[in-house]
Amino acid sequence: MSHTADVSTDLTGTDATGTGPTGADPTGAGVRDRDELRAGATTAGPSAPAGNTAYTVEFAGVGRTFAAEPVLRDVTLTVAPGEVLAILGTSGCGKSTLLRIAAGLDAPSTGTVRIDGSAVDGIDARCAVGFQEPRLLPWRTVSANVALGLPRGTRRDAGAARVAQLLELVGLSAFAGHRPREISGGMAQRASLARALARNPGVLLLDEPFGALDALTRLKMQDLLLDVHAAAPTTVLLVTHDVDEALQLADRVILLGREDGRAGATIRQEVVVPGRRPRDRGSAELAELRGRLLAGLGIERHGQPRGLPSTSTVPHFPY
């Protein structure tokens, strides 16, 4: 109950300072992080698409009810341009619904979503979605599938060049002419990511994009996503149930869940992830955050190993 209030005050604070979510970052690591990303974008070489855009996404009191059963309620959140936001939650908590609402694939029962200041109404051309399954058209080649993501009215030669560039970015140039069933699951998921990027989206919405992949492929895909974001720092909303993935990729993590005695999930925790990307997967600071987020997901932490007190420079929410 008090969480919701805390979150909204925190958000108004960040809006006022104009530095996005990193304004709440006590270490200032996030700010350096972003500057470095921008620098990376200008020097990223041939794989950086021209005319890259990143939009603000604002959720204002968003709620969604399915058959009189509230699934989401009172989600108020602002995502800064170029920010990577991870949405964590237990399965069935409505995190995918939140993403679908942002994409315009679903409409909120209450509240509004604004992208770059204008309300989302129906499928939004400024967004691109990456689904949990690759969802490639089986009768098209990989490159024709990627071309499906190109904005309408793209000239044929410009489109072909863009597709080739994206396939190179995701390492699929050698498989451009293959059919989806002829490539592995990880490759199909990379093709799906390339298709989303072909839209040159101002907001990239990823719904557990690596959830169906094996553990090693998932780690590689996470690094690929970081490379892609460094090359073209768009706003990313990433739905995941994997706490490590959230901490590895995101600037900020929100945890969706139900509050006691109230139906419908809302934002229960909000964590600004310290440190610049790519982050050390074994960092102690992240381990502390990980424990806290897992606790929020209802996973028992099982105490402090070998009696060592868990120390962290990261202050507890709400800072």
Partner 1 sequence: MVDTDVSRSRTPQRSLSSRSWAVILGGAILPVLIIAAWQLTTALGVFTIAQLPSPEMVWTAAVDLFDRGLLTLDVAISTQRVIIGFVIGAALGLGAGALVGLSRASDILLAPTIGALRAVPSLAWVPLLLLWLKIGEESKITLIAIGAFFPVYTTVTGALRHVDRQLVEAGRAFGLRGVRLFTTVQLPAVIPSVISGLRLALAQAWLFLVAAELLGASMGLGFLLSDSGTNGRLDRILLAIIMLAVLGKLSDALIGLLEKWAARRWS
Binding site for partner 1 (CB under 8 A): 103, 105, 123, 125, 128-129, 131, 133, 135, 137-139, 148-149, 151-152, 171, 174-175, 178, 182-184, 186-187, 195, 199, 217, 220
Task: Give 32 or 140: the residue with its C-beta nearer to partner 1.
Answer: 140
Residue 119: other Cβ atoms inside 10 A: 11
26 versus 171: smaller Cβ distance to partner 1: 171
Question: Closest distance between partner 1 and the C-beta of residue 21, in Å?
Answer: 26
Q: How far is the CB of 1 from partner 1 (least distance, A)?
A: 35
- C-alpha 196 chain-centroid distance: 13
Q: Which is nearer to partner 1, 13 or 185 (CB)?
A: 185
Toward partner 1, which CB reaches closer, 171 or 278?
171
Q: How far is the CB of 27 from partner 1 (least distance, A)?
A: 35
> In the complex, what is the shortest distance from the CB of residue 161 to partner 1, in angstroms, rounded to a whole number?
19
CB of residue 308 vs partner 1: minimum separation in angstroms? Answer: 39
**CA–CA separation, 287 and 39 (whole Å):** 29
Contact residues for 34 (Cβ-Cβ < 8 A; gap 6+): 20, 22, 82, 251
Phi/psi at 162 (5° precision): -65, -45
* DSSP E strand stretches across the chain: 57-66, 69-79, 84-89, 110-115, 118-119, 127-130, 203-207, 235-240, 252-258, 265-272
Q: Cis link prior to 278 (omega < 30° from 0)?
A: yes
Nearer to partner 1, 105 or 226 (CB): 105
Least Cβ distance, residue 158 to partner 1 (angstroms): 17
| β partners of residue 254 | 87, 270
A 10 A CB-CB count for 44 gives 18
Pick between residue 83 and residue 124 the one whose CB is nearest to partner 1.
Answer: 124
Q: How many CB atoms lie within 10 A of CB 179?
A: 16
Phi, psi angle pair for 163, to nearest 5°: -65, -45
Minimum distance from residue 187 beta carbon to partner 1 (Å): 5
Q: Where are the beta strands (DSSP E) in 171-301?
A: 203-207, 235-240, 252-258, 265-272
**Choice between 6 and 133, CB closer to partner 1:** 133
Q: What is the CA radius of gyration of the chain?
A: 19
